[in-house]
Amino acid sequence: MDPEKPQPVISAKGLTRIYTLGDSEVIGISQIDLEIAAGELVVLKGDSGSGKSTLLSLLAGLDRPTRGVLTVADHDLNKTSDTELTHFRRQVVGMIFQSFNLLPTLNVLENACLPALLAGKSIAKSRSKAMELLKWLGLDSRTNHLPAQLSGGEMQRTAIARALINDPAIILADEPTGNLDSRNGQIVIDLLAELNRKWGRTIMIATHSALADPKATVKIELKDGMITDHS
């Protein structure tokens, strides 16, 4: 092993996910080979149904591969037990969704704190970390608001705080601007780019929009579950 060369933070070989629906099989992704170094900002493109969400779900440990090898931040996701996978989802990756997925009965601060509390951190520590993030995200005046009282942009920024609270190695964003107007979409992309540039976070954004294109250090295009372009 070359000590100079950093180990990839994402490494996939022959990665395949096939969904079985009764007697028929649907290909989610097929035979994906991929290596992503730490610190990249990957933009994942492809038509609807091309496999972007399937790939992100596998990387996030939300789903398991049908075949192939997948290592993310030194975790072999083919071998992890369910308990390890729960830890992985909570602490190693941070996920952001198109539909925000905030808990409607918890306020902004509580939504942001939740993964830290689930990871066993104290209430005081979780709150102070969440406040720090919410301040950076421009949400310090919104901490007591419920999701229903927020704009889409504010909801997505709350989701970013929640994704960051356990200092994940990787941030995965699935169509993060899909429910936002272009101004708020730009704000979200700029925040993700700042996380990447200033703090060296590895980020993968699946998106239809061109907003993230200028920020990409790696571009991947999927078609019918396969990589057709990697630059």
Ligand X SMILES: Nc1ncnc2c1ncn2[C@@H]1O[C@H](COP(=O)(O)OP(=O)(O)O)[C@@H](O)[C@H]1O
Closest distance to ligand X from the beta carbon of 46 (Å): 5
Rank residues 44 and 161 by Cβ distance to ligand X and give the closer one: 44
Report the nearest approach of ligand X to the CB of residue 45 (Å): 9
Output 46 or 147, the one with its CB closest to ligand X.
Answer: 46
Q: With contacts defined by CB under 5 A, name the span among 17-25, 39-47, 51-59, 116-124 that binds Mg ion.
A: 51-59
Residues 6+ apart with CB under 8 A from 63: 17, 54, 57
- The number of residues that bind ligand X (CB under 6 A) is 12
Instruction: Compute the distance between CA of residue 133 and CA of residue 139 in angstroms, rounded to an integer.
Output: 9
Contact letters (x/-) for ligand X, 40-79, by CB under 6 A? ------x-xxxxxxx-------------------------
**Interface with ligand X includes 26 (CB under 6 A)?**
yes
Could you write out the three-class secondary structure of the chain? CCCCCCCCCEEEEEEEEEEEECCEEEEEEEEEEEEECCCCEEEEECCCCCCHHHHHHHHCCCCCCCEEEEEECCEECCCCCHHHHHHHHHHCEEEEECCCCCCCCCCHHHHHHHHHHHCCCCHHHHHHHHHHHHHHCCCCCCCCCCHHHCCHHHHHHHHHHHHHCCCCCEEEEECCCCCCCHHHHHHHHHHHHHHHHHHCCEEEEECCCCCCHHHCCEEEEEECCEEEEEC
Q: Is residue 196 close enough to count as binding ligand X by CB under 6 A?
A: no
Between 116 and 172, name the residue whose CB sits nearer to ligand X: 172
Task: Verify binding: residue 91, Mg ion, rule CB under 5 A.
Answer: no
Residue (150 or 206) nearer to Mg ion, CB: 206
Q: Using CB under 6 A, which of 9, 28, 211, 216 touches ligand X?
A: 28
Smaller CB distance to ligand X: residue 52 or 90? Answer: 52
Asked if 168 touches ligand X (CB under 6 A), the answer is: no
Kindly tell me which residue out of 11, 16, 50, 53 binds Mg ion, with binding defined by CB under 5 A: 53
Smallest distance from the beta carbon of 15 to ligand X, in angstroms? 13
186-221 in b/e form (b: 16+ CB < 10 A) is bbbbebbbebbeeeebbbbbbbebebbeebbeeebb
> Does the protein bind Mg ion through residue 209 (CB under 5 A)?
no
Nearer to ligand X, 93 or 133 (CB): 93
Q: Which residues in this chain contact ligand X in the complex, by CB under 6 A? A: 19, 21, 26, 28, 46, 48-54
